[in-house]
Amino acid sequence: MSDITITINGIECKAKEGEYILNIARRNNIFIPAICYLTGCSPTLACRICLVEADGKRVYSCNAKAKDGMQVITDNEEIAKERRAIMEVYDVNHPLQCGVCDQSGECELQNYTLYMGVDKQHYAIRDTKRESVTWGPIHYDAGLCIVCERCITVCKDMIGDAALKTVPRGGDKLSKELKEEMPKDAYAMWNKLQKSIIGPTAKSGTLECSECGECIAVCPVGALVSTDFQYTSNAWELRRIPAANPHSCDCSLLYYEVKHTSVNNPKEKIYRVTNDFHYTALNGAARFGYDFQNEVERKDEEAFKKAVDFIREKADTIKFNSFITNEEALILQKLREKFGFKLINEDAKAYQDFMENYSKITGKKHYSGSLKKIKESNFVICMATAVRYDSPNTGYAINNAVTMNKGAGLYFHPIDDQIVNGYAKNMVTIAHEAGAEEYVLAFVLKKFAKDMPKELKDILDKVSDEKINEYLNLPEDFDKTLTKMLAKKDKFSFVIGADAYTHPKAKNLAKLAGAVERYTDFDVVVIPSQTNTLGVSLICDLGEHEGENVLGYNEKGDFTLSALGDGDLDMPALNQQEGTFTNIDKRVVPTNAALEYKGYCLNDIANALGLNRELTIDYTKELPQNSGYVPLEFDLMPNFFDNGGNELRGYILEEKEAKESIDFDEISKIEKIEGQLVYKSNPINQFSPFTNKAHQLNEEPSLYVSKEFLESLGVKEGEKVLVEGEEGSIEIKTKVDIQAVGNIPYLPTFDPSLNLNAIFPSKYRFAKVSIKKV
């Protein structure tokens, strides 16, 4: 990709060869109207409004690639005529219900109609009856739909569900005279529009998807709206508060939109969550799980005093999870330094240990990859994670990479995933034996590693191809397939997830993963399991065994501080706090408080114990620099995407050297687990008790099964089954995960009252069980 220069409206613009004109113009703040194009997705040419003149020829700027020295004019009389005709066509039969439409005020049809100055209609056609339907949290009003196909595009190219398609509209044919009378592109666009409308791809006729709601975000009109939000507020009444996704490790930029609750309740309430859909996609938890705030009426002085006394006199351990900000993690770490507490965080500890061993091989503190790098790559390997469940945004990045870059990918996981398989033709899912993660890494290293040290070579040599085949269940002729898949591939990404760092042999897996980064072309991402797992692992010195008097922070302890409202002292939830997270991209991103919190926060406790900072965010500049943090004030952190799509949010952690020590353990044989397995995973859109507190996501924990597995169990959905593990059993309802396949069901962790320790005796996410009908 060489650098070129093109001229748009007389302004010289630098670009890379092969870039689309529209993207270059946007980056240089030149406005070209466009409706159907989504940055980062493939152009659909549905709207044709981005028409420009390049070197005297009419082209569509969303799919015309720039060439060196190109002269582009974005507007002339002829183009203006086309655009106006297109807008007139879009307005034909569009219901005049702006007064009640949820999109009014931020509607692209409204905006462009006014922008093109459409004050008179020249065209008409008989309308077709178009019914509106409700697909769970998504409401589709076909009457308002302008079939720009943005929802279809984003679902296919970004999310990967491909749950939407165009279906026949049954509209009247355009009369032949129009072809001569009308501007050419307007006619072509109308001709297509009259033929199609949006519908689900599933045979059942209803929408079967992961319910991320990205289609709602991208819809330029009010056709796709959130069922819950519909008709509750006008867009302009809502105040937007930029924040970061508090539920999962991508910490994507989102906006909480708040307004007073009602006429007689002035207390602010979050009405919905929106995002800059051109540059970032949100998962369903972020979009629908926003109202998890902890409502506290006043400061509970008594409980606060008890908390301070408990910490000062009794506590020897602080137990917490990674749904906290960097600043809170630093406060806990400072308390540890001052009072000598043990900090217990199982999730971050596993991650920290993994990264420590990983760094021993790479010699660097952080992994090299990021979601952006995944999106740019054209060969992706994903292992040890049910990626769409653990980190949906990583799944989006993989899907985006393989669909947009003509890429290919491998997905190794004991549970097959048909949706991942459907990302692209060259995406191969391999359901290997549970526990065989070492063999996956051995396979990858054998295939891709160059200049390996002798220690690694020796170990790999001991792993026979037969064993790899046996444990990984590779399809026939896989070598050939892989060679085909690797043709013309030059950018490689590797994703490894929570199955690896909870694995009994996590230490060796970490080293092998480190070897993947060091000795192959792959950029590696190690998915943090919770929102700020990476941050906590970089900030806190974590211990392993808890002491006698435990202070729990969002975890059960002898004295519990809880943002869920079920503890001894209330704490603010993540939508009531400002602070920063360290996300999967190793980026420190700021988040802001959307709602007021009237109680005490962790900083108040720290102050009572003598740490003395006025605000929690005073700790932002004190984050440990030896882990790569930069001494930057919270208020100086930017939090937006610019017109070129550059992410200007917080900062990226600086790379730090780590102590190298290259040695590997033997890759041992594994015992194939015969019989029924169960996996520890939350359903899509659930991550924690916080997501489950949100009214749109709240559900009873169930045993999530595929349709076929439910049939083989001989129970109906909703009926209870007995799951017997090695150390106990639980009786639990069954629920069908429509996207799941195979015979391994999963149990969720979002409800702490569910005793999973009985089923999963070790930390590893697979366990052997027997499942019986009750």
Partner 1 sequence: MDLTNYNNRDISKDYRYVKVDPIPTTPWEKFKRVVKRTFSCELFVGLWIVFREMIKFNIHTVQYPAEKLPISPRYRAIHKLLRLMESGNERCIGCGLCEKICIANCIRMDTKIDENSRKAVTEYTINFGRCIFCGYCAEVCPELAIVHGGDYENASEQRAHFALKEDMLTPIDIFKAGKQKEFPGFGALSKNADENVKKTPLAY
Given a contact cutoff of 8 angstroms between Cβ atoms, the answer to whether 509 and 500 are in contact is yes
**Span interacting with partner 1, options 47-55, 232-240, 344-352, 353-361, rule CB under 8 A:** 232-240
Establish if 462 lies at the interface with partner 1 (CB under 8 A).
no
Amino acid at 299: K
Q: Which position among 42, 201, 233, 469 is part of the footprint of partner 1 (CB under 8 A)? A: 233
**Residue 44: CB minimum distance to partner 1, A:** 27
**Residue 230: CB minimum distance to partner 1, A:** 5
Selection from 318, 363, 344 nearest residue 609 by Cα: 318
Give every CB contact of residue 347 below 8 A, 6+ residues apart in sequence.
321, 322, 529, 530, 533
Q: Which is nearer to partner 1, 57 or 126 (CB)?
A: 126
What string of H, E and C letters represents the secondary structure of 101-117?
Answer: CCCCCCCHHHHHHHHCC
**Residue 516: CB minimum distance to partner 1, A:** 52
**Span interacting with partner 1, options 51-59, 228-236, 689-697, 744-752, rule CB under 8 A:** 228-236
Q: Which is nearer to partner 1, 186 or 741 (CB)?
A: 186
Tell me the three state secondary structure of residue 91: helix
**Residue 183: CB minimum distance to partner 1, A:** 17
Establish if 100 lies at the interface with partner 1 (CB under 8 A).
yes
**Residue written as tokens 């980056």?**
27
Q: How far apart are CA 518 and CA 506, in angstroms?
A: 18
**Span interacting with partner 1, options 116-124, 144-152, 481-489, 592-600, rule CB under 8 A:** 116-124
Establish if 124 lies at the interface with partner 1 (CB under 8 A).
yes
**Residue 755: CB minimum distance to partner 1, A:** 40
Establish if 125 lies at the interface with partner 1 (CB under 8 A).
yes
Judged by CB under 8 A, the number of residues near partner 1 is: 25
Question: Across the strands, what pairs with 71?
Answer: 7
Q: Which position among 39, 63, 104, 607 is part of the footprint of partner 1 (CB under 8 A)? A: 104
**Residue 167: CB minimum distance to partner 1, A:** 22
Q: Which is nearer to partner 1, 239 or 299 (CB)?
A: 239
Residues 518-557, interacting with partner 1 (CB under 8 A): none
Give every CB contact of residue 654 below 8 A, 6+ residues apart in sequence.
628, 629, 630
Q: Which is nearer to partner 1, 120 or 659 (CB)?
A: 120
Question: Across the strands, what pairs with 134?
Answer: 139
Q: How far apart are CA 335 and CA 327, in angstroms?
A: 12
DSSP 305: H
Q: Which is nearer to partner 1, 263 or 487 (CB)?
A: 263
Establish if 81 lies at the interface with partner 1 (CB under 8 A).
no
Q: Which is nearer to partner 1, 233 or 481 (CB)?
A: 233
Selection from 411, 403, 404 nearest residue 428 by Cα: 411
**Residue 298: CB minimum distance to partner 1, A:** 26
Give every CB contact of residue 455 below 8 A, 6+ residues apart in sequence.
662, 663, 664
Question: Following DSSP, what letter does each residue of 21-67 receive, concatenated?
Answer: HHHHHHHTT-----SS--TTS----SS-TTEEEETTEEEETTTPBP-
**Span interacting with partner 1, options 38-46, 229-237, 486-494, 734-742, rule CB under 8 A:** 229-237
Q: How far apart are CA 250 and CA 583, in angstroms?
A: 5
Q: Which is nearer to partner 1, 43 or 143 (CB)?
A: 143
Q: Which is nearer to partner 1, 103 or 345 (CB)?
A: 103
Establish if 646 lies at the interface with partner 1 (CB under 8 A).
no
Question: Across the strands, what pairs with 408?
Answer: 379
**Residue 106: CB minimum distance to partner 1, A:** 13
Establish if 451 lies at the interface with partner 1 (CB under 8 A).
no
**Residue 99: CB minimum distance to partner 1, A:** 4
Q: Which is nearer to partner 1, 57 or 173 (CB)?
A: 173
**Residue 381: CB minimum distance to partner 1, A:** 46
Given a contact cutoff of 8 angstroms between Cβ atoms, the answer to whether 22 and 37 are in contact is yes
Amino acid at 502: T
**Residue 186: CB minimum distance to partner 1, A:** 15
Residues 471-490, interacting with partner 1 (CB under 8 A): none
Establish if 202 lies at the interface with partner 1 (CB under 8 A).
no
**Residue 174: CB minimum distance to partner 1, A:** 11
**Residue written as tokens 């137990």?**
319
In Å, what is the CA distance from 480 to each residue of 278, 450, 475, 599, 730?
A: 38, 20, 11, 63, 46
Selection from 687, 15, 740, 5 nearest residue 323 by Cα: 687
**Residue 170: CB minimum distance to partner 1, A:** 15
Given a contact cutoff of 8 angstroms between Cβ atoms, the answer to whether 392 and 687 are in contact is no
Establish if 122 lies at the interface with partner 1 (CB under 8 A).
yes
- One character per residue 234-263, x = contact with partner 1 (rule: CB under 8 A): x-xx----------------------x-xx
Alpha-carbon dihedral sign for residues 456, 459, 461, 467: negative
Q: Which is nearer to partner 1, 100 or 636 (CB)?
A: 100
Establish if 231 lies at the interface with partner 1 (CB under 8 A).
yes
Given a contact cutoff of 8 angstroms between Cβ atoms, the answer to whether 43 and 20 are in contact is yes
Tell me the three state secondary structure of residue 255: strand
In degrees and rounded to multiples of 5, residue 379 shows phi and psi of -140, 120
**Residue 121: CB minimum distance to partner 1, A:** 4
**Span interacting with partner 1, options 231-239, 467-475, 587-595, 618-626, rule CB under 8 A:** 231-239
Sheet holding 132-135, edge to edge: 132-135, 138-141, 224-226
Q: Which position among 56, 99, 340, 631 is part of the footprint of partner 1 (CB under 8 A)? A: 99
**Span interacting with partner 1, options 209-217, 224-232, 402-410, 674-682, rule CB under 8 A:** 224-232
Q: Which position among 29, 71, 232, 757 is part of the footprint of partner 1 (CB under 8 A)? A: 232
Establish if 626 lies at the interface with partner 1 (CB under 8 A).
no
Q: How far apart are CA 667 and CA 231, in angstroms?
A: 59
Q: How far apart are CA 630 and CA 50, in angstroms?
A: 42
Residues 140-179, interacting with partner 1 (CB under 8 A): 172
Q: How far apart are CA 27 and CA 33, in angstroms?
A: 14
Q: Which is nearer to partner 1, 2 or 265 (CB)?
A: 265
What residues make contact with partner 1 under the rule CB under 8 A?
A: 98-100, 104, 119-126, 132, 172, 230-234, 236-237, 260, 262-264
